[in-house]
Amino acid sequence: MLSKKDAVGSLEVANAMGVSCATASETLKKLYEKGMLRREPWRGVSLSERGIMEVNRILRNHRVFETYAYEVLSISLEDACECANRVELYLSEKIVDSMCRLLGHPKECPHKNSIPEGSSCCMEK
Ligand SMILES: [Zn+2]
Ligand SMILES: [Zn+2]
């Protein structure tokens, strides 16, 4: 994959390098910006069960995708993570589950962050 780093400003480069992986709060912020959450999550609003599921789904998308890109496609972890940031909201469950199965249902991404289980995926051993 082509790195876009040459084309972006130093701030974005710092972000891409320094932010190791999606965190729950970043994910919440993203959901809010997309209009998928009604309130500003960083103000200590407690999440509904659905909201928690949604955050888990996106963290799972991010981490399964980046693990797949890193391990199967041999993409650098930085690029894999950056790319995961772009697609995590849009991946379908079917695709993520397929990647998860192919990877043998990993428990952690390469950053050692835990990967949430898929609702119908990771039960099979
Ligand atoms: Zn990660
Ligand atoms: Zn799985």
At residue 95 the predicted structure's pLDDT band, cuts being 50, 70 and 90, is very high
Query: Mapping DSSP to helix (H, G, I), strand (E, B) and coil, where does residue 41 land?
Result: helix
User: Measured between alpha carbons, how far is 124 from 31 in angstroms, rounded to an integer?
Assistant: 30
Provide the residues around ligand 2 (an ion) whose CB is within 5 A.
Answer: 100, 105, 118, 121-122
Spatial CA neighbour of 103 closest among 62, 70, 59: 70
The neighbour count for residue 1, using CB atoms within 10 Å, is: 12
CATH architecture label of 21-125: Orthogonal Bundle (1.10)
Nearest ligand, CA 62: 1
- pTM of the complete model: 0.72
Nearest ligand, CA 19: 1
Q: Could you tell me the two tokens for 70?
A: 């890193």
| Mean pLDDT in residue range 19-36 | 71
Query: Mapping DSSP to helix (H, G, I), strand (E, B) and coil, where does residue 66 land?
Result: helix
Domain ranges for the chain: 21-125
| CA 88 to ligand 1 center in whole angstroms | 12
pLDDT tens per residue across span 72-89 = 999 999 999 999 999 999
| CA 21 to ligand 1 center in whole angstroms | 4
| Mean pLDDT in residue range 93-106 | 96
HSE-up of residue 66 (Cα within 13 Å, Cβ side): 30
Place of tokens 């039960």: 123
